[in-house]
Chain A
Amino acid sequence: MSWLKTPNPARNWRTIAVLGVTALLVAACGSSGGSGSSSSGSKSPIKIGVSLSLTGDFSADGKAFQQGYQLWAKNINANGGLLGRKVTLDIVNDASSPVQVVTNYQKLISVDHVDLVFGPFSTLLTKAASQVVNRYGYAFVEGAGGGPSVFTSGLHNVFDVSLPVANNLVSFAKWIAAMPAAQRPHSAAYATEDDPFTAPQLDAARKILEKAGVKTAYNKVYPSETTDYGPIASGIISSNADVVLVGTLLPDISAFVKQFVQQNYNPKALIATAGPDQGAQFIQNVGANHTEGIMVPNGWYPTQQTPGNAAMVAAYTKQYGGTAAEVSSDVPEGYSVGEVTAQAVQKDGSLDQKKLIAELHSGTFDSVQGKVKFDATGQNVDAFSYVFQWQNGQLVPYQPGSDQLLQPVAPATQPIEFPKKPW
């Protein structure tokens, strides 16, 4: 360690080197940040402003949403654009912050003067952004702000093209409740993030299950910034509940599955509000051999027979690689926002926001997720909740029959896996 005693002469070139390296890094980071595309036509492009969570807690979903928006923009531009004009996306990062998302939409509308705005990811951010977008009189079509709190603000400009989330777990809960008494689980465990997207879903499901006599063995809410899920997982395991319902995104359901596997806990059914719908990311995070039997509610699946769905999935796999099963459900949600907005704009023949809002309230639209029709609050009343179960590396869709029991959606024929196989 004698070198520790050697005097170190000042090196003036260090500052230059650091500045140079920093400039290169910043340039590298910034070079691919833009998402817009330039117009090649004589008419100016239609600029669409979007705030997305490209960093922060929602970044995985935000990136997938970005892919959905970009696929839609690429598709519509390849087919002549909107009102004969190319569309460009002005996407800015809100870092998953409800404060930043407000600033972003203010800037997009008042400084960038975008022609249209599309929604951000999550109920949390949509709720925060909807007030400022409403203040400027813009229509706010979104695909991931389905929590009840978004629609109780009395706003007339918010339209969610996806499934209203409060009912996401209803099909699952009614399926459990409708089982013959001898087969029906006796107890259920509930754990959810303190998030307006997840918590209402579990509340709705718990009411149905408790009414059916399924005892609540564990019920906890945890902060969304939690990094140590051990005590919550241990609580669920200690409850030894027959059924587990968790209000999660990908990080927490992955942590729960890991701990359930480690501690050899095998509930008869396990359903999460989100996470298992993330395709390849879910498989990577829980391991391909641990997905079997896990369920998730959703309004879309890759082979769904809806207008444009097959083409969108093909375009996705061509551009981003992977298989159809690996497409995140965020992608069609973002894609549907573009589709519905475009149809309303085409019907109006203009970008007038008042006309657009009126058209969205009165019209019926097609999307890769299915039919879209908004009620007075902006919720999609035509959306339908499927229950998906991972079986042999694929998400298999199920829908409730007249007896509320879950039936496979054609062409699938295999019955739902209950009880779930051990890990």
Chain B
Amino acid sequence: MPILEVQNITKRFGETEVLRGISFTMERGEVLVIIGSSGSGKTTLLRSLNFLERPDGGRILVNGEVVFDAADARRLTEEAQRQRRLHFGMVFQNFNLFPQYTVLKNVTLAPTLAAPDRKAGAEEIERTARELIARVGLSDKLGAYPCELSGGQQQRVAIARALAMKPDILCFDEPTSALDPALTGEVLRVIRQLKTDGAGRTMIVVTHEMEFAAAVADRVLFMSGGVIEEAGTPEEVFGAPKSEKTRAFLSSGVKNF
């Protein structure tokens, strides 16, 4: 059974149709990279998965269970929606760390608030957080505040923070777009490690870094004008693109746009 099934998602902002029927499935442990020019709907798709946008049509299933159905008009209680969105984790382009908390507290805050018994779970939560922070290479920054970190370090903390909620599917929304070129490497390395560390994490990465996309992706989706224009292995999409639009996009050869 696929871990994620996206069925015919549509979304419009006013007159603009941003998503025009997006469907795809993912298997557990798969890394899906979504590429496409600005305005192609990549970010809106990711935000829809994370319940930050409400699609106008379509369904989203996780492990065969419907977590979103646009036809289902009944409004979910806030609690139910919170439980469902936890299937997904999100790493934002602008990190969005909580500035008033230390690195450690940024990572422990949400799990602590979600714990049924805050006292009993605290030790376990902190241990997990320390492990995650170590995994992104920031053990020496546990007590630092976000303003004391570089952009790359902040983004690595954001990754640890997202992992702390143990999402089924971790989403990255252009995780290196806000970074100096010199700092993108450390973030991409962390994401690559997440793929190879044996935990079999399922990830969706929206990125403009084509080399990285080719290296990390099991499958690549090329989006254009709100539809999936082309999908396939990195070899297929980058090596022998079938669609004219894909070819044009790839040959424009720009990394940042």
A in complex with B: no
Chain B positions within 8 Å of A, measured between CB atoms, are none
